[in-house]
């Protein structure tokens, strides 16, 4: 009776799980396993917010698998290969199946593991659960990786999306119980309870992912294109952490949202759904880039930007701290940073604003922002984090032009005109009239007086002049703009 291990990593679902599906097709017994080895992901081990999600997602997966008759075996160690070998020896397994990951350190690790297992006579098979199109499947006419999204997506979107795989009704597993750690033993939760807002906003796990998908389909999907840039609106999908942890897959989402169109025939719904699918395409593009350009986690895609004249760490330490804490004196920036700290996520439009402010108005290296997001986002995805920050800094693929410097006041007025988002996250300015919310320091003293508001006392004055810092950034970029693409 053949036995296979299914090595769960960041694919915490039982439906549309190719590794699980193929193991069940070809083996009489299947043993689900999870190996906690964060040091293998160095230097990008999961951050604090991601570890919170991982704890709850693992708990949900464990319950789902137990209900199907195959408890999740959890092990921890510094070497996943060594742990797999122990499990093979304990179970007599002849095969190991897993779903591919695309971070540079994990690509290298998985290649080594696959080769070592096969050399030992074990069938080691990897599968695709995370993407619609894998990085090596889409190339330019010259056979090179794409660096610009639009032609990449034009190529990728025309490919047929496979049908989602069904969830198994039962997973046959050996009767013998294996030793397994409880999820709590991994010590993923914070020791100081700063995570209260996470529980209010998220339900990790496959069931939570589908509940959020259905909420989006029932409400936000029809308004996605028109309202996705409004931070106070509930029209974004809020599915990014579920996607990151593989609680739901892009194939499933494409099929579900396109089925929504077929079921409703609502005017305008096709465009909104396809715009959402295009956003999934950006996620695909980020994985494509990181796979082909693994150094972009830390270094600019275009070498000329390595010489960019960022400020010295000793000079920007206080400004960085003010940005991290949401105390810059620029309301839309502070609202975003406070939302991030409280909920583990930030609205996408606001992410662009706060990133532009850090890299261009403050001239603080994008790597500082990337590291902070990595630690505080529940949806911290290395491919998307790297692409987003290089885009904001103007030094990566498909990047914002160096002269694109978001004016946070204009952005705030355009996308949060009534101040609903600002009043929620920056209550110190809530009494100000709408017109004064976006730049309180520019309001007339009579407005301050009427609102009983004291700038610099009730709420900080801006830590930098927006106009002067914009000119400074343009001058800095001008010094290197002649060095090629970017």
- Per-residue pLDDT, averaged over 300-313, amounts to 93
Residue 184 lies in a domain: no
> What CA–CA distance (Å, rounded) separates 19 from 477?
47
Quick one: pLDDT at residue 181? Answer: 98
Indicate whether 318 pLDDT > 60.
Answer: yes
Q: Which of 107, 128, 149 is the last residue of a domain?
A: 128
Structure confidence at residue 253 as a pLDDT band (50, 70, 90): very high
Same domain (yes/no): 354, 460: yes
Quick one: pLDDT at residue 1? Answer: 75
> What CA–CA distance (Å, rounded) separates 283 from 173?
35
Model pTM greater than 0.75?
A: yes
What CATH number has the domain bearing residue 389?
1.10.579.10
Quick one: pLDDT at residue 78? Answer: 92
Same domain (yes/no): 441, 409: yes
Same domain (yes/no): 222, 349: no
Residue 51 lies in a domain: yes
Q: What angle do CA 231, 381, 20 make, to 5 degrees?
A: 120
Residue 298 lies in a domain: no
Structure confidence at residue 76 as a pLDDT band (50, 70, 90): very high
Of the candidates 113, 154, 115, the one whose C-alpha atom is nearest the C-alpha of residue 133 is: 154
| Burial class of residue 76 in the structure, from the number of CB atoms within 10 Å of its CB (0-12 exposed, 13-18 middle, 19+ buried) | middle
Indicate whether 262 pLDDT > 90.
Answer: no
Indicate whether 484 pLDDT > 50.
Answer: no
Residue 230's domain spans which residues? Answer: 131-162+206-292
Same domain (yes/no): 332, 459: yes
Q: Which of 106, 128, 150 is the last residue of a domain?
A: 128
Residue 201 lies in a domain: no
Q: Which of 258, 292, 326 is the last residue of a domain?
A: 292
Same domain (yes/no): 255, 347: no
Same domain (yes/no): 410, 324: yes
Residue-wise pLDDT tens digits, 408-455? 999 999 999 999 999 999 999 999 999 999 999 999 999 999 999 999
Indicate whether 145 pLDDT > 50.
Answer: yes
Residue 458 lies in a domain: yes
Same domain (yes/no): 379, 468: yes
Quick one: pLDDT at residue 93? Answer: 98
Indicate whether 9 pLDDT > 60.
Answer: yes
Structure confidence at residue 158 as a pLDDT band (50, 70, 90): confident
Quick one: pLDDT at residue 420? Answer: 97
**CB 17 within 8 Å of CB 209:** no
Q: Which two tokens stand for residue 164?
A: 């989602």
Helix axes 331-343, 366-376, angle to 10 degrees: 40
Quick one: pLDDT at residue 269? Answer: 86
What CATH number has the domain bearing residue 12?
3.40.50.620
**CB 84 within 8 Å of CB 35:** yes
Q: Which two tokens stand for residue 296?
A: 């972009």
Same domain (yes/no): 43, 108: yes
**CB 323 within 8 Å of CB 362:** yes
What CATH number has the domain bearing residue 262?
1.25.40.80
Indicate whether 341 pLDDT > 50.
Answer: yes
Structure confidence at residue 128 as a pLDDT band (50, 70, 90): very high
Quick one: pLDDT at residue 402? Answer: 67
Same domain (yes/no): 339, 357: yes
Indicate whether 485 pLDDT > 60.
Answer: no
Residue 486 lies in a domain: no
Indicate whether 129 pLDDT > 50.
Answer: yes
Average pLDDT over the chain, rounded to whole?
Answer: 95
Residue-wise pLDDT tens digits, 186-231? 999 999 989 999 999 999 999 999 999 999 999 888 889 889 999 9
Indicate whether 156 pLDDT > 80.
Answer: yes
Number of folded domains in the chain? 3
Percent of the chain surpassing pLDDT 70: 98
End-to-end CA distance of the chain: 57
> What CA–CA distance (Å, rounded) separates 43 from 367?
13
Quick one: pLDDT at residue 271? Answer: 84
Quick one: pLDDT at residue 109? Answer: 98
Quick one: pLDDT at residue 107? Answer: 97
Same domain (yes/no): 288, 377: no
> What CA–CA distance (Å, rounded) separates 482 from 486?
10
Quick one: pLDDT at residue 267? Answer: 62
- Per-residue pLDDT, averaged over 281-302, amounts to 96
Indicate whether 166 pLDDT > 90.
Answer: yes
Q: Which two tokens stand for residue 242?
A: 């579920």
Residue-wise pLDDT tens digits, 92-114? 999 999 999 999 999 999 999 99
Q: Which two tokens stand for residue 2?
A: 């053949």
Indicate whether 315 pLDDT > 60.
Answer: yes
Name, in order, each residue with C-beta under 8 angstroms of 294's C-beta and a sequence gap of 6 or more.
104, 107
Quick one: pLDDT at residue 486? Answer: 45
Residue 186 lies in a domain: no
Same domain (yes/no): 77, 157: no
Same domain (yes/no): 78, 138: no
Quick one: pLDDT at residue 266? Answer: 65
Beta bridge partners of 29: 3
Residue 311 lies in a domain: yes
């Amino acid at each position: 009776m053949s036995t296979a291990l299914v090595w769960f990593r960041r694919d915490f679902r039982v439906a549309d799980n190719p590794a699980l599906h193929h193991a069940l097709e070809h083996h009489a017994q299947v043993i689900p396993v999870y190996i906690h080895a964060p040091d293998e992901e160095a230097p990008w081990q999961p951050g604090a917010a991601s570890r919170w999600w991982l704890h709850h997602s693992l708990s949900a997966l464990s319950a789902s698998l137990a209900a199907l008759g195959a408890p999740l075996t959890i092990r921890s160690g510094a070497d996943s290969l060594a742990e797999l070998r122990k499990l093979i020896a304990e179970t007599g397994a002849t095969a190991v199946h897993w779903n591919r990951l695309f971070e540079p350190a994990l690509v290298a690790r998985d290649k080594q593991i696959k080769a070592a297992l096969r050399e030992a006579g074990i069938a080691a098979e990897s599968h695709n659960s995370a993407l619609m199109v894998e990085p090596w499947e889409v190339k330019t006419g010259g056979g090179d990786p794409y660096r610009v999204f639009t032609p990449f997506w034009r190529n990728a979107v025309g490919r047929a999306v496979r049908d989602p795989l069904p969830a198994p009704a039962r997973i046959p597993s050996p009767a013998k119980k294996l030793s397994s750690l409880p999820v709590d033993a991994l010590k993923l939760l914070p020791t100081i309870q700063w995570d209260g807002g996470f529980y209010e906003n998220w339900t990790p796990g496959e069931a939570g992912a589908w509940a959020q998908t259905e909420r989006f389909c029932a409400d936000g999907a029809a308004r996605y294109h028109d309202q996705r840039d409004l931070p106070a609106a509930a029209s974004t999908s809020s599915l990014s952490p579920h996607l990151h942890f593989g609680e739901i897959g892009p194939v499933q989402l494409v099929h579900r949202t396109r089925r929504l169109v077929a079921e409703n025939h609502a005017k305008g719904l096709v465009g909104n759904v396809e715009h959402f699918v295009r956003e999934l395409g950006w996620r695909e593009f980020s994985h494509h880039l990181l796979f082909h350009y693994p150094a972009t986690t830390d270094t600019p895609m275009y070498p000329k930007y390595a010489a960019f004249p960022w400020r010295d760490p000793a000079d920007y330490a206080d400004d960085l701290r003010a940005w991290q804490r949401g105390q810059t004196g620029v309301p839309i920036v502070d609202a975003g940073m406070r939302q991030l700290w409280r909920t583990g996520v930030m609205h996408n439009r606001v992410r662009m604003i706060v990133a532009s402010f850090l890299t261009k108005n403050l001239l603080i290296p994008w790597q500082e922002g990337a590291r902070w997001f990595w630690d505080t986002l529940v949806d911290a995805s290395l491919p998307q984090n790297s692409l987003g920050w290089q885009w904001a800094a103007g030094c990566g693929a498909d990047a914002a032009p160096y002269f694109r410097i978001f004016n946070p006041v204009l952005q705030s007025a355009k996308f949060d005109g009534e101040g609903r988002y600002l009043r929620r996250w920056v209550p110190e300015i809530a009494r100000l009239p709408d017109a004064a919310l976006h730049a309180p320091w520019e309001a007339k003293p009579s407005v301050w007086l009427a609102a009983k508001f004291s700038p610099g006392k009730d709420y900080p004055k801006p830590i930098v002049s927006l106009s002067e810092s914009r000119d400074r950034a343009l001058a800095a970029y001008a010094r290197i703009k002649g060095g090629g693409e970017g």
